[in-house]
Structure 1
Amino acid sequence: MTASLSSPLDRAVPAQRIAVVGSGISGMAAAWYLSARHQVTLFEAAERLGGHTATVDVELDARRYAIDTGFIVFNDRTYPHFQRLLTQLGVAVQPTEMSFSVHETQRDFEYNGHTLGSLFAQRRNLLSPRFHRLLADILRFNRQASDDLRYERLSAAFTLAEYLDTWGFGVDFQRRYLLPMGAAIWSASLGDIRRMPALFFVRFFHHHGLLSLRHRPQWYTLVGGSRAYIPDLTAPYAERIRLATPVRGIRRSANGVVLTTSRGQEMFDQVVLACHADEALRLLEDASQAEREVLGSLPYAGNEVVLHTDTRLLPRRRRAWASWNYRLDGRGDDARASVTYNMNILQRLEAPHTFCVTLNDADAIDPCRVLGRFRYSHPQFSLAGQHAQARHGEISGGTQRTHYCGAYWRNGFHEDGVWSALRVAHALGCDESGTHAVGTPARATVSA
């Protein structure tokens, strides 16, 4: 999980024919790095590139919009590899607001933590002792978690639930703040977040400035939608991209790797599995015991995503509207997260409509306002998964000629996909210089 990417490159690695399976950010980045030295062929089961990089074209009232429905944002602190890639590609980005609200319509409870005014968007909370106890717990958790991380007091075997219960954090703090925020970040249920490793959770919150009220990173979106980086990222190997070509089986030998698709069988020197862990395991016809153990401990869960203009999925009070809006409304711990992204805020859209992207709450949306329905899978993190991440070196590379990359090897986000791709690239004698792709590297453009 914490493997370094700064080890010396093996310059003795000869040019090889490499198959990359999967065209999410991990697969596209791996292919980009590797194609500077090797002949890369990219296989994608879908009819489009990108995976979670999924920008949808919408025409409404004679105006056109490009709306992101999967990957949306990145920041200037915890995405160094992804930022470097964007700089090399010269992709334009723009600053955005990352605010978070929680609302419970059945009980008329809501707040947006972005400003003091939005925090008390529901004015009666100004005089609510219960709400002030929630705020006090937020401050206490930020201090406690920061200190425990700094002084290495967090046990690797502790779940978040055990940590919160041990220190007596209130039910409102857990269910109306911390767990919804985690559920929104990882597209998971409240129960999934409670079962997360406490160290994993606290370290992530610390790195992303979520344990501080002031020192937070600046977030960005890509101008024109997240798909804007795909053409340049895939340009070096564009002629060897095979869309709508699902891989049906993979078998390894001492001489190479055989991939079976609808076109037949094809031999490669190496294969990079940049698909989800469960998909990778299904493709292996000769999976080792270690591969079954490791990949089997890194599960995914599906999330239903709806693009729409039904603002009833947002808080009742417009001043409580945030970039990310979590809806409680009686959902149990194991119910999928109900999160609505306000895309007008996130993508800085000037439109008479409010474009929303909602996870796992399709029945609450007016069918007449639905613009598209999608389904994406996200990695689930647990103590067992944390141990599996640390075993990457046991199954990736070596005589099996098989390499694994994907965001699931770290925190599950775009930066982790690029980081993981670069780890595979290093193993095959490549670096992140990107001298092969788009000529002289350009600086990423930031639109104010």
Structure 2
Amino acid sequence: MPRTSVAVIGSGVGGLTAAHLLQRSYDVTLYEAAPRLGGHAETHTVPDGAGGSVAVDTAVMMVHARGNPHVMRLLGELGVTTRPLGDITLSVTCAECGFANPDAHDLHRPPPRPQAMPAAAWQRVTEQTKRFSDELATALGAGAADRTLQELIDAGQYTDYVVGHLIMPLMVTMGLVPADSVRRFPLGHLFETLDHNGVLAGDSGWRSIVGGTARYVERIAARLTAVLRSTPVRSVRRTARAVDVRDATGTVRSFDKAVIATHPRQALELLADPSDGEARILGSFHYAANPGVLHTDASVLPSAPGMRRTHNYRQQSCHPANATPALSIDLNRLQGITAAADHIASFNDEARRAAPAAVIATLGYEHPAWTPESAAAQRLLPLLSDHRLAFAGAYHHAGGYHEDGCLSGVRAAAALGAPW
């Protein structure tokens, strides 16, 4: 008797995890629109500046031993090793007023006082910053997870200076969405974002994947029945006996089951006959794009002593209009890479500061822009998957990180009869 056939559409961590688990019992065909598999698991092999090469990750740059239990289990099954790293740290600089905070990831650690600000005024700034951190924790403890960040800011009557230089840079950097979007973040999702990045606990359980995230992508793909790269899917139609998948060439293949592991709006566009519930729930999610470059131009990093961190945020003015994450990430420092050349990922405005001759690759990632509406829709996502068609993606859980995508793949596979 032939084995049950399953199509998995999308090769991000959700689709790959689902495919890995389903392949144990079924024949799995993986569809990917791009030539490269992996989604945010993107590894570049680049010169190390000394005649050799080094593997550098530019989206999923590390995993957390405590906060990523499903990812760690997946890596263990695949025989992919990790190595310990230090903390995630953040510096913030403002070109207009000269503000410089080398420890912006810690709201309880006061930054150096700008020379132009009187000591008494600066004392009020640091007191407000600590109070914000405490009020965030109190609001979550009081069950106010659906309140937005802006509501918390308004209730606390924080000054524009505190919001613009201490609160928003941290939130924009960790959320990876523009300021207007992060202001609408429900506090529950914001908490997950900060906790994932070690801001709340201050722990240092971060690890990098030896050889890059491409290692686990390659090992999963090698075990699948079929992998169709550069094969965009145009429609998924449920019939009485099958799930028909039509690709960009017009080829239609019939499968017994399927997983759609794309961004939610793409999933909705693929469905030939979406239900009202699918249209309403999947249509509630929005994403923010973060164009960037991988490069070797260290001039984009802070030059002042003690200011260079793993993450380096720079704003042009004290009151930037809907600030995007103007961010440069020191990948050598973040991933424990020993190389003569600096390897840096810069996004949005920072990407434009990198010297063109130093650019190794262009980058383009999108991240969920959480809203009260999308948070409500997220709670309904489990209703969409059944024994024939399941959905996966990092948008299914918590803050939309790699662990969330992996967990969604686990649950999609379980819905189709392949529990872990």
TM-score of the pair, normalised by structure 2: 0.90
Question: Are residues 127 and 233 of structure 1, via their aligned partners in 2, closer, same or farther at CA, if it must alter by over 3 Å?
Answer: farther
User: Alignment partner for residue 186 of structure 1, among 160, 168, 175?
Assistant: 175
Query: Which residues of 2 match residues 116-195 of structure 1 at below 5 A?
Result: 124=115, 128-152=119-143, 154=144, 156=146, 158-195=147-184
Pairwise CA distance, 1:121: 6.9
| CA–CA separation in structure 2 for the residues paired with 1:119 and 1:167 | 19
Q: Is the 8 A contact 2:6 2:258 kept in 1?
A: yes
Q: Which residue of 2 aligns with 1:38?
A: 26
Query: Which residues of 2 match residues 185-264 of structure 1 at below 5 A?
Result: 185-206=174-195, 209-212=198-201, 215-237=202-224, 239-261=225-247, 262=249, 264=251
User: Alignment partner for residue 322 of structure 2, among 334, 352, 365?
Assistant: 334
Q: How many residues align?
A: 411
Pairwise CA distance, 1:126: 11
| CA–CA separation in structure 2 for the residues paired with 1:77 and 1:130 | 40
Q: Which residue of 2 aligns with 1:308?
A: 295
| CA–CA separation in structure 2 for the residues paired with 1:216 and 1:127 | 34
Query: Which residues of 2 match residues 19-98 of structure 1 at below 5 A?
Result: 19-59=7-47, 60=49, 62-97=51-86, 98=88
Q: Which residue of 2 aligns with 1:347?
A: 335
Sequence identity (%): 31
Q: Is the 8 A contact 1:33 1:422 kept in 2?
A: yes
Q: Is the 8 A contact 1:54 1:70 kept in 2?
A: yes
Question: Are residues 131 and 16 of structure 1, via their aligned partners in 2, closer, same or farther at CA, if it must alter by over 3 Å?
Answer: farther
| CA–CA separation in structure 2 for the residues paired with 1:232 and 1:242 | 16
Pairwise CA distance, 1:408: 0.9
| CA–CA separation in structure 1 for the residues paired with 2:97 and 2:114 | 15
Q: Is the 8 A contact 1:149 1:203 kept in 2?
A: no
User: Alignment partner for residue 319 of structure 1, among 299, 306, 311?
Assistant: 306
Report the residue type matching 1:328 in the other structure.
Answer: Q
User: Alignment partner for residue 373 of structure 2, among 351, 362, 384?
Assistant: 384
1:353-387 CA distances to partner (integer Å, 9 max, x unpaired)? 22110111232222122121121222221111011
Pairwise CA distance, 1:427: 1.2
Pairwise CA distance, 1:193: 0.7
Question: Are residues 339 and 235 of structure 1, via their aligned partners in 2, closer, same or farther at CA, if it must alter by over 3 Å?
Answer: same
| CA–CA separation in structure 2 for the residues paired with 1:16 and 1:177 | 54
Q: Which residue of 2 aligns with 1:437?
A: none
| CA–CA separation in structure 2 for the residues paired with 1:21 and 1:172 | 46
Pairwise CA distance, 1:333: 4.1
| CA–CA separation in structure 2 for the residues paired with 1:125 and 1:101 | 20
Pairwise CA distance, 1:155: 5.5
Pairwise CA distance, 1:230: 1.8
Q: Which residue of 2 aligns with 1:104?
A: 94
1:231-275 CA distances to partner (integer Å, 9 max, x unpaired)? 2233321x4111111111111112111111126110011110111
Question: Are residues 306 and 198 of structure 1, via their aligned partners in 2, closer, same or farther at CA, if it must alter by over 3 Å?
Answer: same
Q: Is the 8 A contact 1:33 1:431 kept in 2?
A: yes
Task: Indicate the SS of the match to 2:96.
Answer: helix
Task: Indicate the SS of the match to 2:409.
Answer: helix
Question: Are residues 303 and 386 of structure 1, via their aligned partners in 2, closer, same or farther at CA, if it must alter by over 3 Å?
Answer: same
Question: Are residues 351 and 246 of structure 1, via their aligned partners in 2, closer, same or farther at CA, if it must alter by over 3 Å?
Answer: same
Report the residue type matching 1:423 in the other structure.
Answer: R
Task: Indicate the SS of the match to 1:103.
Answer: strand
Task: Indicate the SS of the match to 2:280.
Answer: helix
Task: Indicate the SS of the match to 1:107.
Answer: coil
Report the residue type matching 1:101 in the other structure.
Answer: S
| CA–CA separation in structure 2 for the residues paired with 1:272 and 1:72 | 26
Pairwise CA distance, 1:335: 3.7
| CA–CA separation in structure 2 for the residues paired with 1:131 and 1:216 | 28
Pairwise CA distance, 1:123: 8.1
Q: Is the 8 A contact 1:189 1:333 kept in 2?
A: no
Pairwise CA distance, 1:418: 0.7
Q: CA RMSD in A?
A: 2.5
| CA–CA separation in structure 2 for the residues paired with 1:115 and 1:180 | 12
Report the residue type matching 1:36 in the other structure.
Answer: R
Report the residue type matching 2:27 in the other structure.
Answer: Q
1:142-191 CA distances to partner (integer Å, 9 max, x unpaired)? 32222332232x152x2110112102233333222332222222220111
Q: Is the 8 A contact 2:175 2:193 kept in 1?
A: no
Query: Which residues of 2 match residues 255-274 of structure 1 at below 5 A?
Result: 255-261=241-247, 262=249, 264-274=251-261
TM-score of the pair, normalised by structure 1: 0.85
| CA–CA separation in structure 2 for the residues paired with 1:100 and 1:323 | 6
| CA–CA separation in structure 1 for the residues paired with 2:374 and 2:140 | 20
Q: Is the 8 A contact 2:257 2:416 kept in 1?
A: no
What are structure 1's unaligned runs of at least 5 residues? 1-13, 433-448
Question: Are residues 272 and 130 of structure 1, via their aligned partners in 2, closer, same or farther at CA, if it must alter by over 3 Å?
Answer: farther
Q: Is the 8 A contact 2:85 2:204 kept in 1?
A: no
What are structure 2's unaligned runs of at least 5 residues? none
Report the residue type matching 1:221 in the other structure.
Answer: S
Question: Are residues 83 and 253 of structure 1, via their aligned partners in 2, closer, same or farther at CA, if it must alter by over 3 Å?
Answer: same
